């Protein structure tokens, strides 16, 4: 019997006595090999617009304003390497405008080989701040200051690709956000072969969730690439390929040829936020893994079990060290 014939189960249920479940052993952090070195961004920090890290090129012809952003998280520098390569090559769009932006330069400047995870941000996660109401709050934060300086720029963007990578092992994917337009853009890019449509995190809106990109009347579209493990050579290679295909799909540089395969689309149905400081997965689940059976216990969160609500449930980016209030995993159904 397939999950289509059964009611989804609640994701949370009281855990039986611990002795009846597998003893939770927190997964260790993966062993990191830094296969790619952080780029020298010194030639590009100033930008060419008056806003640090923001580079803009105008074809002088009508067309969309297309943007590629990198370094939302300071230790995810594969995307920054690709932007620096484009800048060195002297990119020029054949129509409209092209902008390349290094987002969290302050966090990137703190990158340290000995503590490669510590430079994700300075004060708070920059990718939870993309709402004007959030920015109006008088909170001292390096990331809020930076987002305030850039949000007006994003109000002019028609097509955006935001470049990220992942800490934990996972298949690469494109997050299309909640909008059909984002999903359509991801299909046009065509790779990697998994598109995940979701409505974001409890902690606050991502850039792809920013009002401009989720309001149909603006026509603006945005996707977020999660290209693979932060410092893997394969992540850099895939980022190059996806940026090239994005620029082709937007018809500003090169062209996006058909990939010959249709990406799978998975819809996030649940965003599991850790309620305790001890959420622990029962094993080292990999992102993109599909759990065949409804009701499979995947994690313990204090007194509660986290269970798959339906058959063939895809685990999106399990975070094996989720802090309380942070996303531990998203659960998705493959819909196409």
Binding site for Zn ion (CB under 5 A): 73, 76, 164
In whole angstroms, the minimum distance from the beta carbon of 141 to Zn ion comes to 17
Residues 6+ apart with CB under 8 A from 159: 64, 65, 66, 67, 185, 220, 221, 222, 246, 250
In whole angstroms, the minimum distance from the beta carbon of 297 to Zn ion comes to 28
In whole angstroms, the minimum distance from the beta carbon of 207 to Zn ion comes to 10
Q: Which is nearer to Zn ion, 107 or 313 (CB)?
A: 107
Q: Which is nearer to Zn ion, 93 or 172 (CB)?
A: 172
Q: Which is nearer to Zn ion, 164 or 221 (CB)?
A: 164
In whole angstroms, the minimum distance from the beta carbon of 185 to Zn ion comes to 19
In whole angstroms, the minimum distance from the beta carbon of 73 to Zn ion comes to 4
Rg (CA), the chain: 20
Q: Which is nearer to Zn ion, 207 or 299 (CB)?
A: 207
Q: Which is nearer to Zn ion, 164 or 307 (CB)?
A: 164
Q: Which is nearer to Zn ion, 73 or 212 (CB)?
A: 73
Q: What is the largest CA-CA distance in the chain?
A: 69
In whole angstroms, the minimum distance from the beta carbon of 246 to Zn ion comes to 17
- How many Cβ atoms sit within 10 Å of the Cβ of residue 1? 7
Tell me the residue nearest to Zn ion as measured from the CB: 164
**What is the Cα–Cα distance from 208 to 226, expressed in whole angstroms?**
13
In whole angstroms, the minimum distance from the beta carbon of 308 to Zn ion comes to 25
Q: Which is nearer to Zn ion, 57 or 108 (CB)?
A: 108
Tokens of 201: 């995190």
């Amino acid at each position: 019997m397939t999950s289509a014939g059964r009611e989804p189960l609640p994701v949370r249920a009281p855990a039986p006595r611990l002795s009846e479940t597998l003893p939770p052993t927190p997964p260790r952090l993966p062993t990191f090999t830094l296969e790619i070195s952080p780029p020298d961004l010194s030639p590009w920090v100033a930008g060419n617009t008056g806003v640090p890290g923001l580079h803009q090129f105008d074809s002088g012809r009508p067309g969309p304003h297309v943007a590629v952003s990198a370094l939302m998280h300071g230790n995810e520098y594969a995307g920054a390497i690709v932007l620096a390569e484009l800048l060195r090559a002297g990119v020029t769009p054949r129509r409209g405008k092209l902008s390349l932006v290094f987002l969290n330069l302050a966090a990137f400047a703190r990158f340290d080989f000995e503590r490669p995870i510590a430079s994700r941000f300075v004060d708070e996660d920059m990718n939870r701040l993309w709402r004007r109401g959030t920015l109006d709050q008088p909170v001292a934060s390096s990331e809020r200051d930076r987002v305030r300086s850039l949000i007006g720029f994003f109000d002019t963007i028609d097509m955006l690709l935001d470049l990220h990578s992942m800490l934990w092992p996972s298949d690469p994917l494109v997050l299309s956000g909640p909008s059909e337009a984002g999903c359509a853009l991801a299909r046009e890019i065509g790779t990697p072969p998994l598109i995940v449509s979701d409505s974001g995190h409890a902690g606050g809106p991502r850039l792809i969730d920013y009002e401009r990109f989720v309001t149909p009347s603006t026509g603006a579209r945005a996707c977020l690439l999660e290209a693979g493990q932060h410092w893997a050579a394969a992540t850099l290679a895939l980022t190059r390929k996806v940026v090239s295909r994005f620029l082709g799909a937007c018809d500003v540089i090169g062209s996006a040829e058909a990939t010959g395969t249709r990406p799978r689309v998975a819809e996030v149905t649940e965003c599991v936020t850790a309620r305790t400081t001890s959420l622990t997965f029962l094993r080292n689940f990999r992102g993109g893994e599909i759990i065949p059976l409804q009701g499979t216990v995947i994690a313990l969160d204090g007194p509660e079990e986290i269970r798959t609500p339906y058959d063939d449930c895809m685990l999106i980016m399990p975070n094996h060290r989720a802090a309380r209030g942070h996303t531990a995993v998203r659960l998705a159904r493959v819909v196409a």
